[in-house]
Amino acid sequence: MPDAKGPARALILFGPPGSGKGTQAKLLKECLAIPHVATGDMLRERIQRADDLGLVIKRLIDAGELVSDELINRMVEERLSLPDCEKGFILDGYPRTLGQAETLCQTLRRLGASWFVVHLKVDYNIIIRRLAGRRFCPQCGAVFNVYFQPPSRPGVCDLCQSALLTRDDDRESVIRRRLEAYEAQTRPVLDFLIKDGGGSFVEVDGASEAPAVIAQRICELARIVK
């Protein structure tokens, strides 16, 4: 059993769409034994309820726009108050605006939690191919890439043989909008988090090695960086 509850720690995965935040978070949650809180996944789950709010969210995501801070902040706040987040959590896709960053910093201070920001840096041209080439399995959730990690049979999941799909927001026109939203609204968040001074910060090359090697490096850093 883990002993006494130390203060919680937020690992904030920061980077543009396609920098590998989701892939890293899935590997890191095993190595750090803390939950993965992904606002994009939470929103896609919310869409499944197929009510009015779900429809509003779907329209925004499919247009490459961001969902309102109010909704996202509330969703995250609820998620972080669940008992499994007591020791820490991995944030993937949040905070994405200055408004979200301010709310998060207040929440973390209230929880007495520190934060560790990992900036995943990836070349723009690689990002475009990662997003445009991404295919996912609706059945088992496996993710492939037609350029970097093709399935053995084109369009078919290696694990469960289901037909692979492309996320609606991975279409080229939407990818461009998402990257613009990143530049305009999300990139400034990094400076905010660094200047705020309540946490530590590292930059990691998100493309030159296999995902597992990158995750190993982040995991070690998370253990030694205060």
Active-site amino acid positions:
21, 96, 134, 167, 178
Q: Which stretch binds ligand ADP (CB under 6 A): 37-45, 47-55, 115-123, 152-160?
A: 37-45
Residue 79 vs 96, nearer CB to ligand ADP? 96
The count of C-alpha atoms lying within 13 angstroms of the C-alpha of 3, restricted to the half-sphere facing its C-beta, is 0
Residue 60 vs 126, nearer CB to ligand ADP? 60
20 binds, among ligand ADP, Zn ion, none (CB under 5 to 8 A by kind): none
Pairing of strands 9-14, 88-92: parallel
Residue 33 binds to Zn ion (criterion: CB under 5 A): no
43 binds, among ligand ADP, Zn ion, none (CB under 5 to 8 A by kind): ligand ADP
140 binds, among Zn ion, ligand ADP, none (CB under 5 to 8 A by kind): Zn ion
From CA 99, how far away is CA 69, in angstroms rounded? Answer: 7
Q: Which amino acid is at 195?
A: K
Nearest approach, Cβ of residue 5 and ligand ADP (Å): 27
Can you tell me which of 8, 66, 80, 215 binds ligand ADP, judged by CB under 6 A? 66
Residue 139 vs 145, nearer CB to Zn ion? 139
Give yes or no for a contact between 215 and 134, defined as CB atoms under 8 angstroms apart.
no
Nearest approach, Cβ of residue 135 and Zn ion (Å): 11
Residue 26 vs 119, nearer CB to Zn ion? 26
Residue ranges in contact with Zn ion by CB under 5 A:
137, 139-140, 142, 157, 159-160, 162
